[in-house]
Amino acid sequence: MNAGRPDLYVAQHAHWQRTYDSHPGMYGYRPSEPARYAAALFRSAGARDVLELGAGHGRDALHFAREGFTVQAVDFSATGLEQLRRAADAEGLTERVTCTLHDVREPLPLPDASVDAAFAHMLLCMALSTAQIHAVVAEVRRVLRPGGTFVYTVRHTGDSHYGTGLVHGDDIYEHGGFAVHFFPRRLVDALAEGWRLDEVHAFEEGDLPRRLWRVTQRT
């Protein structure tokens, strides 16, 4: 199977929809550690609005909103976004959170230079080809204002699942129905071309544990 094939992405979309239906709020509503880091960094940079790609059911989008940011939450799961809307309503954060159903393989539905900061926790390491990942990062750069900050996390080739499971090519491997594009360091460096790369921080998350990089770069 070739990486980036439309049927793989479509299958992943259906899998995430089923997962959110079966496990509402599957990651809980406590923010991820990368989101906590990003919120503090964005605040220190004077950011007011945040674009989150792959917001899911919203644990991190809600954290950004609680911290006073205006949040554009983007995801391809209508089910996840509906859970986010309900949670934002329950917390009185509706005016701070905008939910947008969007396929990141398409251009972002935002004007040029329209947001201060962007965040993506494991969105870039989904079932996207290397070329598609480059296109997403180019879109993030387009919509960031000058001096804007992008924080993203990805599972990398040092992860214990790398090289195992169902093989899709282009460093994409599938486990338990979830396809992951594992990043080599050269891909991180290539995505930072034309940016200022501030940090590549290694960390672990979850029970496996998943091995990830948290990348911080600026326009």
Look at residue 2 in the predicted model and tell me its pLDDT: 43
Look at residue 8 in the predicted model and tell me its pLDDT: 83
CATH number at residue 107: 3.40.50.150
Global pTM exceeds 0.85: yes
Task: Kindly report which listed range (63-72, 115-124, 135-144, 204-213) carries the lowest average pLDDT score.
Answer: 204-213
Look at residue 3 in the predicted model and tell me its pLDDT: 45
Q: Has residue 141 got a pLDDT over 60?
A: yes
The answer to whether position 44 is within a domain reads yes
The answer to whether position 140 is within a domain reads yes
Q: Has residue 78 got a pLDDT over 70?
A: yes
Considering only residues 7 and 39, tell me which one the structure prediction assigns the higher pLDDT. Answer: 39
- Ranges assigned E (strand) in 54-207: 70-75, 97-101, 115-121, 144-155, 166-169, 172-175, 178-181, 196-205
Look at residue 29 in the predicted model and tell me its pLDDT: 76
Query: Mean pLDDT across the stretch 33-48?
Result: 98
The answer to whether position 57 is within a domain reads yes
C-alpha 55 chain-centroid distance: 7
The answer to whether position 1 is within a domain reads no
Nearest to 206 by CA among 14, 13, 34, 24: 34
Average pLDDT over the chain reads 92
**Sign of the torsion angle spanned by Cα atoms 172, 173, 179, 184:** negative
The number of distinct structural domains making up the chain is 1
| Residue-range definition of the domain harbouring residue 25 | 6-218
Q: Has residue 120 got a pLDDT over 90?
A: yes
